[in-house]
Structure 1
């Protein structure tokens, strides 16, 4: 079959930086970006050009943060896309490489986080499943102290971002990608879950299991729509991508109220 023709608009580093500034990105701020490269149109230079544009808009005093999660470093018995044979489970638990901030590729979060992760000077947090990477003056503060039992809690980059007054940029991404809502889940009483992963410890590689609040994102679209209805959210186009910009602390505070009010009622 013939290759379909490219679809526009044609975006460049300069055009994207200008549109990010027009949307409201402020030089010098700390920005947690969730991105969909394909939503922008045809980007000359791909993920690298978009990261350059984000850094251009933020300027030398700004800090760019992205999720660099490694959800493939997880309990194989719960894998569903695709599932693996039960006979493989113990082998996978025994042989899966331990998380390494320098070499473990991100998984399931798109090509832009991987570009940031491998960017010169990038720092990455230490959580074996829920890491974030950052570029800029605040990168060390944002990524420090990410505890294994606090994927998205008080000892995670999300809490540091909240304290730093960071904003969230959804660049062609929906609220289902908004990791800020996970911080609220840690603060609201709810079910817990077990997370298992391969980690490097003082005794070498180990398979570890931690218990922490469950963080399902299946209702984040509904939560985001309510948040946008009740709260001021900047909206606009960057390239062809519908984009949103809002303070992370506002999203967390709203979710802390919304989640318990919309929790499933126990069956009688």
Structure 2
């Protein structure tokens, strides 16, 4: 059987950059991007063209930020996709490589963040589970000082993005991927969990705030209803554009009201 032709639309670096500008992406701003390459259509040049288009829209003074998480550097007892046999756990804990910002690939976030991570000049934060990569004049300011015991809280790039007036671009991605909502979890009563990971002196456990994105789609629906959110299309992808600070402030109120009390303590 012959391979069927692509269904499109045809997306190029130039057409995507123009659509992003029309949606309101501004030269010189700082943009946290959550993305899905496949949602855009047939992209000439793939993820490289998307990153180029984002940088074109932001201009030389803008800064592009993406999540580059590495959840596989975690306790195998918690793995579910797929789970591994119990008798493997101790061997895996002993053999998992240490997180290296220059080498460790991101996982589960798509090809666009990985393209940014490996782009010449990109900088990446130090947290072994929830790092961010950035390109642009503010990259160092955003990623430096990411505390290794603070996944997505006050000592993470998210808090810096909030202070810098950054915006979130959901490029074919849903609100379930909106990491800004997690910063709100650090500002309301939330349970603590023990997080395991490989460390420089062997397996280590760190106490962290519990984070949970299970209801973020519902939260995002209400946020979009109540707060100004730019909505539109880029290629075939649905696009949302809004300030990090607005998302965090709304999520603080929403989670305090909607999270079941047994999840809070």
Aligned counterparts of 1:118 and 1:61: Cα–Cα separation in 2: 20
- The equivalent position to 2:248 in structure 1, one of 223, 245, 252, is 252
Please name the residue that 2:66 is paired with.
66
Cα deviation, residue 194, structure 1: 1.6
After superposition, residues 199-210 of structure 1 pair within 5 angstroms as 199=199, 204-210=200-206
For residue 178 of structure 2, what is the aligned residue in structure 1?
A: 178
- CA displacement at 1:211 relative to structure 2: 1.0
**In structure 1, what is the Cα distance between the partners aligned to 2:84 and 2:262?**
33
- CA shift, 1:205, in A, is 4.9
2:210 pairs with one of 211, 214, 220: 214
What does residue 7 of structure 2 align with? 7
Cα-Cα RMSD: 1.1
1:76-122 CA deviation, whole Å, 9 max, x = no partner?
01101110011110001001000000000001111000000000000
- Which residue is equivalent to 1:43? 43
Match of 1:132 in 2: 132
What TM-score results when the alignment is normalised by the length of structure 1?
Answer: 0.96
Q: 1:123·1:143 contact (CA, 8 Å) conserved in 2?
A: yes
Secondary structure in 2 aligned to 1:69? coil
Where does residue 34 of structure 2 map in the other structure? 34
> What is the deviation of 1:266?
4.3
CA contact (8 A) 1:30 1:166 kept: yes
Q: State the distance in 1 between where 2:140 and 2:202 align.
A: 26
Match of 1:110 in 2: 110
Any conservation in 2 of the 1:41–1:240 contact (CA below 8 Å)? yes
State yes or no: 1:235 paired with 2:224.
no
Partners of 2:262 and 2:245 lie apart in 1 by 30
Q: State how 1:155-170 maps to structure 2 within 5 Å.
A: 155-170=155-170
Alpha-carbon distance between aligned partners in 1 of 2:119 and 2:46, rounded to the nearest angstrom:
14
8 Å CA contact retained: 1:98, 1:205: no
Distance in 2 (alpha carbons) for counterparts of 1:53 and 1:148: 32
Counterpart in 1 of 2:98? 98
Q: CA deviation at 1:3?
A: 2.6
Which runs of 5 or more structure 2 residues have no equivalent in the other structure?
none
